[in-house]
């Protein structure tokens, strides 16, 4: 059972806007004030922080019925965002990505070994932050799923299936449920706990986080075919060259036998992949699945016992991960 009878009942009242600013400040402090030997590398990453979708989600979920936010939620939001940044640093090394959010990647500027070590350091910073929450004894009863392991196993599962032209839709969804959705689910779970919700409600938040994570990745798969590098601010249409088979391509491989034969025997160019995905309706298929997850997420939000203001914020996050806002 989850026990959220927190012992620190007397605390400063923190509202949403202030909480978001405090999360950003905490992240900046941890990146800017790193030990001197690594500081120039962590400062380089400050511009790569992105839109704080996971941290923002945690803070929204953490709002209680009066709109107040527990200080520990701010610490965990910063920890999750720094953990996410660590995974991006490692991803860029694995993918040989030159750009991240419009800026040169850490490995491209300083080398792969430096980037891997910096990613490891960020992971340590994230764990240290998470362990710095007050009143730790209050949280010993929490059955907190091992989301970090899920994330790593999802990444490993993707790596093992690099170049797997027989990858099924089910297998792919299993991969992204770990490598992407796990961290979203963790954000919603942690935030819900601090909101004072009961166990049944917290499980609804967890489900919502999972759905948003799936939507985020599947929408990203579509953007890889729909946007230019300048718009996406990262390399596009390069997944296949890295061995990564995404859902629009999986659909094309299943629908067009001659296309799969060519992939097996002589490889594929970017234009051939784009044409096959268009011809087979790979993007339409993927968008249909996104819409199914979107509808499920909306139903979960409607089922939560929350204020209209909080409901609007959660729908705003849902639209953001769907790239509707």
Domain architecture of the chain: domains with CATH: 9-140 (1.10.600.10), 142-325 (1.10.600.10)
pLDDT digits (tens, 9 = 90+) for 137-189: 676 556 667 898 999 999 999 999 999 999 999 999 999 999 999 999 999 99
Mean pLDDT of 64-86: 94
| The pLDDT of residue 273 | 93
Mean pLDDT of 245-251: 96
- d(CA 2, CA 274) in angstroms, rounded, equals 48
| The pLDDT of residue 4 | 53
Q: Please provide the distance, in angstroms rounded to a whole number, between the alpha carbons at the two ends of the chain.
A: 37
pLDDT digits (tens, 9 = 90+) for 266-320: 888 899 999 999 999 999 999 999 999 999 999 999 999 999 999 999 999 999 9
| The pLDDT of residue 10 | 42
| The pLDDT of residue 7 | 46
- d(CA 235, CA 275) in angstroms, rounded, equals 19
Mean pLDDT of 91-105: 88
| The pLDDT of residue 242 | 83
**Helix, strand or coil, per DSSP, at residue 175:** helix
| pLDDT score of 321 more than 80 | yes
pLDDT class of 102 with cuts at 50, 70, 90: confident
What is the DSSP code (8-state) at residue 144?
A: -
Mean pLDDT of 55-60: 97
Mean pLDDT of 102-125: 94
pTM > 0.85: yes
Give the other-Cβ count within 10 Å of 307's Cβ.
14
**Helix, strand or coil, per DSSP, at residue 1:** coil
| The pLDDT of residue 1 | 39
| The pLDDT of residue 114 | 97
| The pLDDT of residue 71 | 94
- d(CA 310, CA 306) in angstroms, rounded, equals 6
**Helix, strand or coil, per DSSP, at residue 179:** helix
Q: What are phi and psi of 181, to 5 degrees?
A: -70, -25
| The pLDDT of residue 325 | 64
- d(CA 247, CA 291) in angstroms, rounded, equals 14
Q: What is the DSSP annotation of 94-137? A: HHT-SEETTEE-HHHHH-HHHHHHHHHHHHHHHHHHHTT-S-GG
54: tokens are 């996971």
| The pLDDT of residue 9 | 45
């Amino acid at each position: 059972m989850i026990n959220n009878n927190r012992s620190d009942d007397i605390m400063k009242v923190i509202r949403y806007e202030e909480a978001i600013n405090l999360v950003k400040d905490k992240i900046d402090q941890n990146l800017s004030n790193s030990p001197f030997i690594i500081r120039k590398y962590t400062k380089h990453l400050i511009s790569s922080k992105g839109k704080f979708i996971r941290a923002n989600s945690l803070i929204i979920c953490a709002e209680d019925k009066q709109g107040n936010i527990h200080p520990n939620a701010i610490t965990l939001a910063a920890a999750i965002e720094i953990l996410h940044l660590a995974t991006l640093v490692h991803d860029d090394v694995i993918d040989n990505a030159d750009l991240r959010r419009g800026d040169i990647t850490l490995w491209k500027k300083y080398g792969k070994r430096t980037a891997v070590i910096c990613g490891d350091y960020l992971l340590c910073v994230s764990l240290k932050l998470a362990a710095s929450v007050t009143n730790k004894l209050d949280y010993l009863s929490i059955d907190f799923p091992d989301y970090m392991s899920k994330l790593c196993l999802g990444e490993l599962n993707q790596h093992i299936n690099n170049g797997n032209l027989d990858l099924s839709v089910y297998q792919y969804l299993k991969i992204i449920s770990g490598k992407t959705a796990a961290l979203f689910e963790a954000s919603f779970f942690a935030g819900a706990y601090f909101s004072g919700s009961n166990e049944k409600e917290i499980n609804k938040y967890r489900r919502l986080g999972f759905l948003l994570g799936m939507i985020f990745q599947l929408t990203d798969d579509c953007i890889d075919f729909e946007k230019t590098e300048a718009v996406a601010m990262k390399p596009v249409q390069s997944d296949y060259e890295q061995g990564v088979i995404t859902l629009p391509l999986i659909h094309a491989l299943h629908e067009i036998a001659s296309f799969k034969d060519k992939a097996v025997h002589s490889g594929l160019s970017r234009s051939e992949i784009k044409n096959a995905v268009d011809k087979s309706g790979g993007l339409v298929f993927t968008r249909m699945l996104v819409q199914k997850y979107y509808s499920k997420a909306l139903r979960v939000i409607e089922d939560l016992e929350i204020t209209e203001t909080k409901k609007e914020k959660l729908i705003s996050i849902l639209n953001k991960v769907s790239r509707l806002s």
